[in-house]
């Protein structure tokens, strides 16, 4: 064990094996890989535009973060792309990139100790809607014999497991906007407790659909800046008016430290802490005092064995809604104290939009990239910050040397809260 890992192990607040991130992949509105997504983030580019993949002419909200130009044949054979919902296609593509990045080959010896956990808030909704329309328009004989499989929430995990030949547990995780982060946390626990040696974890969603835009729009949760899409998502800005529905996926390879060492893998970061909670308050509004969010963040810090003064950067949930941003700011003040005014706090959703189940995984990837490079992605559109004493990294990326600990928050509808802590190695 290296000196850095010895220090990390000594500081942990839980027993069990160290968990390392050794690779990740991403498909987002900013690009079809981690490199493309990260480059666009640092440049402050927006992936939000007028939705053109579906008819939005009658909708109140006509903007979103689409994955454009995605070619399934680059990642999977035609029979798979024909049956798999786009959310599962994105997850599979991200998983393949993650394995290539980690240099991971699942052979017969390793397969029984490799698990897959993919989070999703909405799952294969496009396939569900199409199947329902086919049943209505053409009758039951027109329904595919794969419909009951491909319209299931676990279809992304199943496609990844079958493609890679993993024989450990494979499952779905669904906790709304916290799904991706909770999937990462579940994989971390699985390794820490010895149930697996390697876990492919992450999140995926493809919910830029007419139904989901209409429903979330009617709930007054979405921005209605149809005439200015790139300026629509405005986390922590006084003039924010809602989040932007987006799609995509991110998958990462988690490994027990000794397994990664044995195969000569490069650890990108240590996954040091995870905390989760429920508000038990309201389906769409956070608890007004942020009680559940505080519990999750405090639990993650405790799990990592660190104090609030150790946090060097927060990748915030930062949706751009009135309630979330005000509540999250209050939570960070309560948990981190004065530290929150001395470190960068940014929301990459300002560029990607809200990828729902994929959000927590994409944002953890960005957190690790920031930890490794010292470059903190910006919060674009933050023209008039709601808290002027906090560095929300407005408009342009910033470089911060010596970062060791990053906190990534994910808070979802239904009162689901998750927080992850990553440590430099």
Whether 177 is a known active-site residue: answer yes
Give 139's contacts (C-beta < 8 A, 6+ positions apart).
none
Distance, in Å, from the CA atom of 3 to the CA atom of 5, rounded to the nearest integer, reads: 5
SS3 content of the chain, % helix, strand, coil (to 5): 40, 20, 35
Token look-up 């751009």 returns: 320
In a 3-state reduction of DSSP, which class is residue 161?
Answer: helix
83 vs 89: CA distance, rounded Å = 10
- DSSP code, position 176: T
Which is catalytic among the residues 32, 99, 101, 177?
177
129-144 burial: b if 16+ Cβ within 10 Å, else e: eebeeeeeeeeeeeee
What whole-number distance in Å separates Cα of residue 254 and Cα of residue 386?
A: 36
Residue written as token pair 């995990």? 157
Burial of 270 (0-12, 13-18, 19+ CB in 10 A): buried
What does the H/E/C string look like for 69-133? CCCHHHCCCHHHHHHCCHHHHHHHHHHHHHHHHHCCCCCCCCHHHEEEEEECCCCCHHHHHHHHH
In angstroms, the CA 69 to CA 194 distance is 40
Lookup: tokens for 377: 């992605």
Decide if 191 contacts 114 (C-beta within 8 A).
no
Question: For the purposes of burial, counting CB atoms within 10 Å of the CB of 79, is it exposed (0-12), middle (13-18) or buried (19 or more)?
Answer: exposed
Buried b vs exposed e over 225-259: b needs ≥16 C-beta within 10 Å?
beeebbbbbbbbbeebbbbbbbbbbbbbbbbbbeb
Query: Of residues 207, 354, 382, 416, which has the active-site annotation?
Result: 354
- Lookup: tokens for 423: 């440590």
Q: What whole-number distance in Å separates Cα of residue 273 and Cα of residue 314?
A: 14
Residue of 32, 287, 317, 416 marked catalytic: 317
Where in the sequence numbering do the catalytic residues fall? 177, 317, 354
């Amino acid at each position: 064990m290296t000196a850095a890992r010895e220090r990390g192990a000594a500081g942990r607040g839980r027993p069990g094996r160290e968990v390392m991130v050794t690779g990740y992949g991403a498909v987002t509105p900013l690009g079809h890989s981690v490199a493309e997504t990260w480059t666009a983030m640092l440049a402050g580019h927006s992936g939000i535009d007028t939705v053109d993949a579906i008819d939005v002419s009658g909708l109140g909200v006509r903007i979103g973060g689409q994955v454009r130009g995605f070619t399934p044949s680059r990642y999977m054979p035609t029979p798979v792309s024909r049956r798999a919902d786009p959310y599962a296609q994105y997850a599979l593509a991200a998983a393949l990139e993650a394995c290539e990045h980690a240099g991971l080959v699942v052979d017969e010896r390793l397969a029984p100790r490799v698990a897959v956990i993919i989070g999703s808030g909405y799952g294969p909704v496009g396939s569900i809607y199409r199947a329902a329309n086919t049943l209505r328009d053409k009758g039951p004989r027109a329904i595919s014999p794969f419909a009951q499989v491909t319209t299931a929430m676990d279809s992304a995990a199943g496609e990844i497991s079958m493609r890679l030949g993993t024989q450990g547990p494979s499952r779905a995780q669904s906790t709304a906007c916290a799904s991706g982060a909770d999937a990462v946390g579940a994989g971390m626990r699985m390794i820490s407790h010895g149930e697996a040696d390697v876990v492919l974890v992450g999140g995926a969603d493809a919910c830029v659909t007419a139904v989901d835009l209409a429903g979330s729009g009617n709930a007054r949760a979405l921005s209605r800046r149809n005439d200015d899409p790139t300026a629509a998502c405005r986390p922590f800005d006084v003039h924010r008016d809602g989040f932007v529905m987006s799609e995509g996926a991110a998958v990462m390879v988690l490994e027990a430290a000794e397994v990664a060492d044995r195969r000569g893998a490069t650890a990108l970061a240590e996954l040091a802490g995870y905390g989760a909670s429920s508000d038990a308050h309201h389906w769409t509004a956070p608890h007004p005092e942020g009680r559940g969010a505080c519990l999750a963040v405090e639990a993650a810090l405790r799990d990592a064995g660190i104090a609030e003064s150790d946090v060097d950067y927060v990748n915030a949930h930062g949706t751009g809604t009135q309630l979330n941003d005000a509540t999250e700011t209050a939570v960070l003040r309560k948990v981190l104290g004065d530290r929150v005014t001395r470190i960068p706090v940014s929301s990459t959703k300002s560029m990607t939009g809200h990828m729902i189940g994929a959000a927590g995984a994409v944002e953890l990837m960005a957190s690790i990239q920031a930890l490794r490079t010292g470059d903190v992605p910006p919060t674009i559109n933050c023209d008039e910050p709601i808290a002027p004493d906090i560095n929300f990294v407005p408009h342009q990326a910033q470089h911060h040397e010596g970062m060791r600990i990053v906190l990534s928050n994910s808070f979802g509808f239904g009162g689901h809260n998750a927080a992850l802590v990553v440590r430099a190695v």
